[in-house]
Structure 1
Amino acid sequence: MVKVSAGIKFGRGVSSCLKYLEAVPWSEEEEEKLRDLFPKLNVDDDTATDVLDRLFTLNSVDSQRTLTKHLIWSITNSTDANARNELKSLVKGLLCKSSVYEKPYPDLNKEDIFAVCKSCLDSLSSLLEEASSTDASLKLTKNKKDRPLIERISKQVDNINWLLDILLDHQMAEDFADMWANQEELLKMHHNASPMVRYELSRVSALLFIALGTRKLHCPSETRLKLLQVWFSPMLSDFGWLNRCKKGLDMKALEEAMGQALLTLPLKEQYSLFMDWFQCFSKHGSECPNLSKSFQIWWRRSFLRGSESFAIESR
């Protein structure tokens, strides 16, 4: 109607249409039609400005980046678990590559995400240091209003895994994998922490292993090797706790992906890590991941040659 009124220069009709459009909510389809229509109209009306202000914003790229960064910081610092989980789902959906809300803006700013990741890692390190400390005075200096230590550790791990999910969706997680592979201090704290605390670190490793084993994460061989050399053994130790406290983790997918990730390494390194698994599994059984299928593939590739090996693997 507004297009027709503008075409025949029916000013009162245009004004009425604009007042109506400005006053009512729009569906997604209506918004897209108006967004396409208004640049083609030559309308001089104060109400048109109000409609345009609902359709277009200045510096939309910069404002989206700033707002995204602010939302992510706010979520990771949220103190209400239910609200935090709800908002994580909301924002992840908005940022998802396949989201219906995706616009032709520049990709997610990796530096902003990594700044939050590093902040969460620093907080996690401090909490694990507190957990492994034998100095009672250190714990007494904490605010009495603080949540239980285990809950605060779990919150930071949840934050890190949420951010990692976003990075994986945008194919930006390679640097995070390298950063996690070089967490020497966290690894030392893992050795000193109790099982009910340290397994939280393996929740991060689990997400990375699954991404590697399912081809969602493509890392240089040096990064894959270091990541597995550093965090594979802790995963073997923590697998039983992960199985009891899954927190949404698909344990079958983890087992399959761990084996597949190992098979991406040179055979010599595969040998070392598969032997670690074999010894662990022989002693602890279901408390360790079952990598038998991948172990068989490694064995055949290592000791059988040519067409015989190919024939066995293709069965």
Structure 2
Amino acid sequence: MKDLVSKMLRENNSSCSGNNNGRKNRSNDLSKESLYTSFETCLSLLGRYMTSAANSNLIEVTQIARQADNLHWILDILIDRQIADEFLSTWSAQTELSAIHTKVPPVHRYEISRITARLFVGIGKGQILASKDCRCLLLRTWLEPFYEDFGWMRRACKGLDRHLIEDGLGNTILTLPLGMQQDILLAWVDRFLNSGDDCPNIQKGFEVWWRRAFWTRRAHHLQPPASSPHHLT
């Protein structure tokens, strides 16, 4: 049903863009406010079910995957409309949800990391514009949980395009300051060597960073020293 609704929304957007000299008539369409109201509701429910599961109450644990799927679906719609920036900033700030992530068994929580993966792809492909601070916060908050769930996503998510996600993550990291790229990528090397296929392979991003860092250091060493005022004429 979600796939059907998404298809209908895309077709509606396409048909509206071709009418009224390019002006879209959204009177019968979902508004940004409606989408974000649904987002906030699903996020609140996800937090409640995750907290319950972290306290060993697994009665409603299936709701975690359901709400995560709802959020992923809403995010796809927002990205398609180029209005996903608020989703990104809100998701990046979910430090409490991220903190209880490891307290929930992976089989119940890995769907949550699909949301983070979609954001990586969106940022990496330029579908979501975000400030440097927001991108840094996203990685600080959700990169470790994403790493922990990657193996589960790879095995359990039907149709998962791991290469698209890996490229998105690598490109997201490469948008950060060089020093932060170094910290993240050197930590990734250690994890990758110990985890293999259960860790995303962002070797391409690592190689780009390595070349950038090499030429930056080389340019710094080749830079001539500043002239002393005593030698100026």
The TM-score range, normalised by the shorter chain, is: 0.7 to 0.9
Q: Look up the match of 1:124.
A: 46
Q: Look up the match of 1:89.
A: 3
**Could you tell me the percent identity over the aligned residues?**
36
Select the structure of larger CA radius of gyration.
1
The one-letter amino acid paired with 1:222 is D
Q: Of 203, 208, 211, which residue of structure 2 is paired with 1:297?
A: 208
Distance 1:191 1:306, change over 3 A: closer
Shift of the alpha carbon at 1:199?
A: 1.6
**Secondary structure of 2:40's partner?**
helix
Distance 1:100 1:168, change over 3 A: closer
**Secondary structure of 2:208's partner?**
helix
Does residue 1:263 correspond to 2:155, yes or no? no
Q: Of 81, 101, 109, which residue of structure 2 is paired with 1:170?
A: 81
Does residue 1:207 correspond to 2:118, yes or no? yes
Q: Of 150, 156, 181, which residue of structure 2 is paired with 1:239?
A: 150
The one-letter amino acid paired with 2:189 is F
Does residue 1:105 correspond to 2:50, yes or no? no
Q: Look up the match of 1:114.
A: 36
Q: For the residues of structure 2 that align with 1:127 and 1:93, how far apart are their CA atoms?
A: 30
Shift of the alpha carbon at 1:100?
A: 4.6
The one-letter amino acid paired with 2:54 is S
Distance 1:113 1:99, change over 3 A: closer
**Secondary structure of 1:96's partner?**
helix
Q: For the residues of structure 1 that align with 2:44 and 2:112, how far apart are their CA atoms?
A: 13
Q: For the residues of structure 2 that align with 1:181 and 1:90, how far apart are their CA atoms?
A: 29
The one-letter amino acid paired with 1:116 is S
**Secondary structure of 2:129's partner?**
coil
Moved more, 207-216 or 173-182: 207-216
Contact 2:69 2:111 in 1 (8 A): no
Q: Bigger relative contact order, structure 1 or 2, given CA contacts below 8 A and separation 6+?
A: 2
**Secondary structure of 1:171's partner?**
coil
The one-letter amino acid paired with 1:221 is K
TM-score between both structures, scaled by the size of structure 1: 0.62
Distance 1:228 1:98, change over 3 A: farther
The one-letter amino acid paired with 1:93 is K
Aligned residues: 211
Shift of the alpha carbon at 1:101?
A: 4.0
Q: Of 61, 67, 88, which residue of structure 2 is paired with 1:149?
A: 61
Contact 1:190 1:201 in 2 (8 A): no
Q: Of 120, 133, 148, which residue of structure 2 is paired with 1:222?
A: 133
Q: Look up the match of 1:274.
A: 185
Q: For the residues of structure 1 that align with 2:158 and 2:93, how far apart are their CA atoms?
A: 25
Contact 2:61 2:108 in 1 (8 A): no
Q: Look up the match of 1:145.
A: none
Q: For the residues of structure 1 that align with 2:11 and 2:177, how far apart are their CA atoms?
A: 33
User: After superposition, what is the alpha-carbon deviation per residue over 1:1-48, rounded to whole angstroms, capped at 9, x for unaligned?
Assistant: xxxxxxxxxxxxxxxxxxxxxxxxxxxxxxxxxxxxxxxxxxxxxxxx
The one-letter amino acid paired with 1:149 is V
Does residue 1:286 correspond to 2:206, yes or no? no
Alpha-carbon RMSD across the aligned residues, in angstroms, is 2.2
Q: For the residues of structure 2 that align with 1:221 and 1:273, how far apart are their CA atoms?
A: 15
Q: For the residues of structure 1 that align with 2:48 and 2:199, how far apart are their CA atoms?
A: 29
Structure 2 residue runs of 5 or longer lacking an equivalent are: 220-233
Distance 1:260 1:254, change over 3 A: same
Distance 1:99 1:248, change over 3 A: farther
Q: For the residues of structure 1 that align with 2:128 and 2:206, how far apart are their CA atoms?
A: 22
Shift of the alpha carbon at 1:109?
A: 2.1
Shift of the alpha carbon at 1:271?
A: 1.0
User: After superposition, what is the alpha-carbon deviation per residue over 1:249-292, rounded to whole angstroms, capped at 9, x for unaligned?
Assistant: 21111111111110011101111111221111111111101111
Distance 1:195 1:248, change over 3 A: same
Shift of the alpha carbon at 1:94?
A: 2.7
Q: For the residues of structure 2 that align with 1:128 and 1:296, how far apart are their CA atoms?
A: 37
Contact 1:108 1:170 in 2 (8 A): no
